[in-house]
Chains A and B, each alone.
Chain A
Amino acid sequence: MYSQKRIIIIPENTLLNCCNFTLPMEADQFVKHFADQFDETDASEFRLDTIFRNIEEWSSIIALSIIAMVDEEYGVSIKGDDVRTSNTIQDLYEIVKSRL
């Protein structure tokens, strides 16, 4: 039955743009918000591919402040498992973006 239908392929970006009614979420802005939760680590050390757990200053309290930052800046609720299963800042960024 599928053969009778015409399949239209929409580029992923188009779909994202037309469904995303909230303010666009900038990756570099997310990295900056992420870096703001650290007191001692220099902001230049944070990139999308940074494995945040390996940062010396990383702690359970900073994990909480990341959850709070995501709540305040993006209105998105993330859970312990979201943080635990993420390795890089980008992993978390993608989770937040998918819930906007």
Chain B
Amino acid sequence: MSYLTTDNVRISGFAACVPKTMEDNLNLSLISGDEAKKFIESTGVRYRRIADNKTTTSDLCFHAVSKLITDLSWQKEDIDCIVFISQSADYILPATSCILQHRLGLSQETYCLDISSGCSGWVYGMSVITSLLQNGNFRKGILLAGETTLKLGSAFDKSYWPLFGDAGTATALEFIPGNKSINFHFCTDGGGFEAIIIPDGGFRNPFKPESLNYKEIEPGISRNNLHVHLNGMDVFSFAITKAPDTIKKLVSHFQLNIEEVDAFIFHQANLYMNEKIRNKLKLPANKVPYSLNKFGNTSSATIPLTLVTEWREKLMTSRQRLIACAFGVGLSWGSVYFETDKIICSNLVEI
């Protein structure tokens, strides 16, 4: 039983940053005209943003959080903790959150933590940062979640490249005594660890020259062992059963009124899969926003990115009751119920 409640924490704002450079799946040499149209229709992904060689996830997160701190009019000395969620850190070591503490000009009295997590990362990160803040020792915190997914995969792999994009996000949170609880449910199946994996370059299979050798798996799918190997069918069969399951458990355990939920923000994996999940839960289309068409799958960034680009007006002008659900690499999945009330939601930052 992996249910969790955190109290006394308010979500004060969201921001997201994407690279200006855009790729259009209709113009990819990897997939032909007809195939590309079918691909876009079924996956829902047409445009994706791609970071240049010099730009890392932490750069995208840095610009997102800088904008958010300005829009919130926060004093930097009030920020007591930052948590950085990514699987594309700046270095093997040190932790990227330490670099960001200095770059953001935060006090040396700042708690900094990196968490290696992918698609489910924002939901897990929220549980960590709200737990840190909930007793009032830390006043304000920032959760950074992002990925340069296209630096992790092969440009010659049509089962990966056209689906993914780069983004960095920031979620601002603060200790407010008595604020409405946040409810979570989490699950893990490490038995599926090979469904999404970069085989080499860690310490199980250290980098060796052969790691760079491209292998053609099938026509249109070539990659090496430093690239993500994605078993689409396994991930699909996992997600269409586990994502509805965690939301049902969250709603039932915390006795939430599903009718009163204003929006269900799913990890943006692909439209075909996400619509299966939506239909299984019998959710109305107008309560399930998508940013897939514009940004593709940006790993742990998809939930805040979707909130910033598709739900901004509602977040800024009204009270919102939201359920977010994320699933993927690990295999790891979970869901969270939270409320917001007229919060700051920065305009999308493009660099």
A61 engages B272 (CB within 8 Å): yes
Q: Which residues in A have their C-beta under 8 angstroms from that of B236?
A: 64, 67-68
Interface assignment of A49: CB less than 8 Å from any CB of chain B: no
CB pair B272–A80 under 8 Å, yes or no, is: no
- Whether A71 touches B234, Cβ cut-off 8 Å, given contacts A61-B272, A64-B272, is no
Q: Are B273 and A60 in contact (CB under 8 A)?
A: no
Q: Quick check: is B177 within 8 A (CB to CB) of the other chain?
A: no
CB distance from A2 to the nearest CB of B (A): 37
Asked whether B8 is an interface residue with its Cβ less than 8 Å from the other chain, the reply is: no
Known contacts A61-B38, A64-B272: A80-B241 contact under CB 8 Å: no
Nearest residue (CB) in B for A78 is B237
B201-243 CB mask vs A (1 if < 8 Å, else 0) is 0000000000000000000000000000001111011001100
Give A68's nearest chain B residue, CB to CB.
B276
Query: 1/0 per position for A54-68, CB-CB distance to B under 8 A?
Result: 000001110111011
Chain A CB within 8 A of B159 CB: yes
* Closest A residue by C-beta to B235: A80
Kindly state the separation between the CA atoms of A67 and B272 in the bound complex, as whole angstroms. Answer: 12
Chain B interface SS verdict (over half): helix
By beta carbon, the residue of chain B nearest A70 is B237
Residues of B within 8 A of A77 (CB): 237, 241
Q: Please, what's the 1-or-0 string for A82-97, where 1 marks a CB less than 8 Å from any CB in chain B?
A: 0110000000000000
CA–CA, A72 and B231, complex, Å: 21
| Nearest residue, chain A, Cβ from B39 | A61
Hey, what's the 0/1 contact readout for B253-281 against A, CB within 8 Å counting as 1? 00000000000000000001100100000
A99 sits at the interface (CB 8 A): no
Give the chain A neighbours of B233 by CB distance below 8 A.
Answer: 60, 63-64, 67, 79-80, 83-84
Q: How many residues of A contact B (CB 8 A)?
A: 16
A80–B240 touching, CB < 8 Å: no
Q: Report the interface size class on chain B.
A: 10 to 19
Q: How far is the CB of A53 from chain B (nearest CB, A)?
A: 12
User: Contact at A71–B232, with CB atoms within 8 Å?
Assistant: no
Residues of B with C-beta under 8 A to A71 = 237, 240-241
Q: How far is the CA of A22 from the CA of B234 in the complex (A)?
A: 25
Instruction: Please measure, in the bound complex, the distance between the C-alpha atom of A68 and the C-alpha atom of B244, giving whole angstroms.
Output: 13
Chain B min CB distance to A63 (Å): 6
Bound CA–CA A65/B233 (angstroms): 10
Of all chain B residues, which has the CB nearest A63?
B233
Q: Is the CB of A80 within 8 A of B42?
A: no
A50 to B231, CA, bound (A): 25
Q: Please, which residues of chain B bring their CB within 8 A of the CB of A79? A: 233-234, 237
Nearest residue (CB) in A for B43 is A61
Top 9 A-B pairs, shortest CB-CB distance = A80-B233, A80-B234, A61-B42, A67-B237, A64-B236, A79-B234, A80-B231, A77-B237, A68-B276
Binding site for A on B (CB under 8 A): 38, 42, 159, 231-234, 236-237, 240-241, 272-273, 276
Give chain A's interface residues, CB within 8 Å of chain B: 59-61, 63-65, 67-68, 71, 77-81, 83-84
- What are 11 of the A-B contact pairs (CB < 8 Å)? A60-B233, A64-B273, A67-B236, A67-B237, A67-B240, A71-B240, A79-B233, A79-B234, A79-B237, A80-B232, A83-B233
